[in-house]
Structure 1
Amino acid sequence: MLPYAIDLGNGYTKTSYGNKPRLMPSYVSQVVNESDICDDFGPGGGAFLLYLSGDRHDLIGTKWLLGEAAKISFPATYQRVVEASAGKIEYALQFALSDVLCCHKYQNVTIPALYASLPDPLTDGEKFKKAVLGRHEIQLAHVNSPPDARFHYFVTIENCKILHEGQGAFINAIATGIIPGGVAAGIIDCGSGTTIAQCFSANGHLIPSSRTVSPVGVHHLLKMIATDPRLKERIGGEGNLHLIQQAIEDSSFSYGASNVDIEQIFREHRKVWAQSALRKALEKFSSMKDEIDSILLVGGGAHIVKAICQKSSIILSPNPQTANVMGMARLAELKIARSAA
């Protein structure tokens, strides 16, 4: 019985059994005909899930592709989790169950404590719990596995705790000594499609008035650079977002094998991007400077934001993309230990 946490993000869904975090692109598609599943599912991989029976009666008999496989097999109809109005609730169980294959060799799996985070736990927490709790009979396979390679599971999720987004990252930062305990701190979650800033009190509770959300994430900055005419002229087309992000994060500003220098392009576009993505957050934190001692950067774009924000009070979290889910996994582990005592 391992603690389990899940963080459904704009770009990636992060899961953690114990202290082993994993990432899967937050793409999902319901499957009508299995013959439509593409043989080439890309480097991101994915999972195939068949819901046979269980407490989610609305899912009985349905088939799902999750991760990169959904985007490649169904490019016109796949969805990002956040594109559905209640996607983080609607697809939570599918993503939670898809990770069982990586961690369990046994047919009967019990998850005594599932921790997750939502923007508004008070409003949506009970809906999330209703969507995931209970007993679920499934067939599960890595995509492209033949039917005889599918694994049959009975998964029981006994309890679920919903935190505010970013709360897990705050807890993880204290547990790992990144920030001292007993003090308030600000967190900027630099996601793919959004930038979320908020403050947590010394006892780990969200300060609601501190929360700001910008619908601009690191993906937008990378896209601005990728479509810059100067880069397109040098490489003969639009730039690869992964290679651009890599060049920024390692501070080389050298694009791919062609070694095109993108530093000047980055510095020009980051000014415009920072105004839309970071201005509200930094203004809010400036008004609370007497209340918070430090600002923690988390999320997949944290390295890029740190390259822009050089102040010593702005701290880059180690493994920033999985910091939130790792903090929640710590809480799940603590809950199980207390129950066993």
Structure 2
Amino acid sequence: MLQTLTNSCIRPVVACDAGNRYVKWVNPSKQVKSILSCVAELDKYDSYDMNANCPHTVYIETDNGKRYLIGKDASQFGGRMVFDGDKCELAEILVLAALQPLPGETNLVINDLRLCLPDSRIDASREALQRLIGQRVFTRNNLLIHADVKAVRAIDETVGSFRKAKSEGLFGYSGALNGIISLGGKDGIARLYTTEGQINRSADVKISGTLALITHINKALAVETGRTVQPHVVMDAIERGDYTIPGTGFNFSKIFFDCREKWWSEIRSAVGKQWQPFADEIGEILVVGGSAHIVAKHLPNDRYKVPTQPQFFDLLGLI
């Protein structure tokens, strides 16, 4: 049971984007936090001493005795990358990283937990997230937390981006249809929004995420080097900007630039085809998500924009 609660224990809204590449959330100090979407369940023989200064890994112990690493160190303990599975199935573990009490507290009441979903109309996905409602006791980075989640709201990906873009005046044609293209890790979504912020569902386009780009790169690597590389290793090299595989020192920058053009061209083609009936009504298109930066200099025209911190734009729009 929860201990005696005070008003200082209550966080009215907590937003979390448990994506296929990164788990992102806003902490009690209103700072954006991000760790790798990788989960390792430790067995009783695994020893892990939590480094309090480690910003890239969260250590979780649940009340049933299970222990998990979420983040960078998880990959070194044989962890499972979320894009290899179903992120909704892992949501109960991933979201624990975001359940942080206010400073000096160990109790936490969340009135409204807001989470991103590709399509909030899918019953199975919504039901998986509803399991987060209720009381639980767990340890987060060696701090025992008594948490009570009152409500969980599943919000469609890109809704936060539209709200934030509109509030910041990023759409110069506010009376037109405006689009959001979200480039995620496993997949992505392109959506058109009415002036009132309603999703035009008939224009939805499910698009390939960074994982499809990595597949193109790995096909080329197999020819050039005789082997493929784990997707997260390639993603890390792209994110660092050195395009180098650590184990071999092989630089795949030329492969990357060629494959990026193919991948981005396929996305633009798919979106253009689906949005053709609305072409004369579309004002501007915002490109967000973790891979937005790699196409920022290759946008087809001035109607396309990449905002500041595109990887966190959707998350920040949820609050």
Structure 1 length normalisation: TM-score? 0.74
Report what 1:191 is aligned to. Answer: 184
Call closer, same or farther: CA 1:284–1:65 in 2, change over 3 Å: same
Gaps of 5+ in 2: 1-9
For 2:179 and 2:107, how far apart are their aligned partners in 1?
41
On the 8 A contact 2:108/2:148 being kept in 1, the answer is yes
Inter-partner Cα distance in structure 2 for 1:307 and 1:22:
26
Deviation of 1:93 after TM superposition, in Å, equals 2.9
SS at match of 1:276: helix
- Aligned residue in 2 for 1:333: none
Q: How does 1:102-117 map to 2 (within 5 A)?
A: 104-117=103-116
Are 1:272 and 2:262 counterparts?
yes
Equivalent in the alignment of 2:84: 83
Counterpart of 1:316 in structure 2 is 306
1:203 matches 2:212? no
For the residue of structure 1 that corresponds to 2:197, the secondary structure is coil
Paired position in structure 1 for 2:76: 72
1:4 to 14, 19, 23: 14
Structure 2 counterparts to residues 219-258 of structure 1, below 5 A: 219-221=211-213, 224=216, 241-247=235-241
More helix by share: 1
Residue 148 of structure 2: which of 145, 156, 159 is its match? 156
Distance change in 2, residues 1:94/1:185 (3 Å): same
Closer, same or farther in 2 for the Cα pair 1:103/1:11, shift >3 Å?
farther
> Hey, what does 1:339 align to over in structure 2?
none
Normalised to the residue count of structure 2, the TM-score between the two structures is 0.79
Distance 1:300 1:292 in 2: 24
123 and 290 in structure 1: CA distance in 2 versus 1, 3 angstrom threshold: same
- Deviation string 1:119-140 (CA, Å, 9 cap, x unpaired) is 2212336414421111111112
- Using the alignment, how far apart are the partners of 2:290 and 2:186 within structure 1? 10
**Corresponding residue of 1:29:** 40
State the SS of the aligned residue for 2:295: helix
> Contact 1:117–1:164 at 8 Å: present in 2 too?
yes
Look up the match of 1:145.
none
The farther-off stretch of 238-247 and 196-205 is 238-247
Asked if 1:303 is matched to 2:304, the reply is no
Give yes or no for contact 1:92–1:131 (8 Å, CA) kept in 2: no
- Preserved CA contact (<8 Å) 1:27 1:66: yes
Residue 227 of structure 1 and its aligned partner are, at CA, apart by 7.6
Instruction: Give me the CA root mean square deviation.
Output: 3.4
Corresponding residue SS for 1:132? coil
**Cα shift at 1:294:** 0.8
Aligned residue number for residue 337 of structure 1: none
Question: Tell me, which stretches of 5 or more residues in structure 1 are unaligned?
Answer: 53-59, 142-149, 248-252, 330-341
Q: Secondary structure at the match of 1:290?
A: helix
1:266 deviates by 4.6
In 1: Cα distance, 2:193 partner to 2:32 partner: 24
SS in 1 for 2:39: strand
Residue 116 of structure 1 deviates from its aligned partner by: 1.1
Do the aligned partners of residues 39 and 283 (structure 1) sit closer, same or farther apart at CA in structure 2, a change above 3 Å counting? farther
> In the alignment, what sits opposite 1:134?
134
Secondary structure of 1:105 counterpart: coil
Per the alignment, residue 5 of structure 2 pairs with none
Query: Offset of 1:301 from its aligned partner?
Result: 0.7
Other-structure match for 2:121: 122
CA gap 1:270/1:126 in 2 versus in 1, 3 angstroms: closer
Structure 1 residue aligned with 2:61, among 23, 35, 50?
50
List per-residue Cα deviations over 1:98-150 (Å, max 9, x = no partner).
23348643111111111112122123364144211111111121xxxxxxxx1
1:167 to 147, 159, 162: 159
Shift, 1:177, TM fit: 2.1
Q: CA deviation at 1:222?
A: 5.5
Partner of 2:3: none
Q: CA deviation at 1:44?
A: 7.0
* Paired AA for residue 116 in structure 1: L
SS of residue paired to 2:201: strand
Secondary structure at 2:271 match in 1: helix
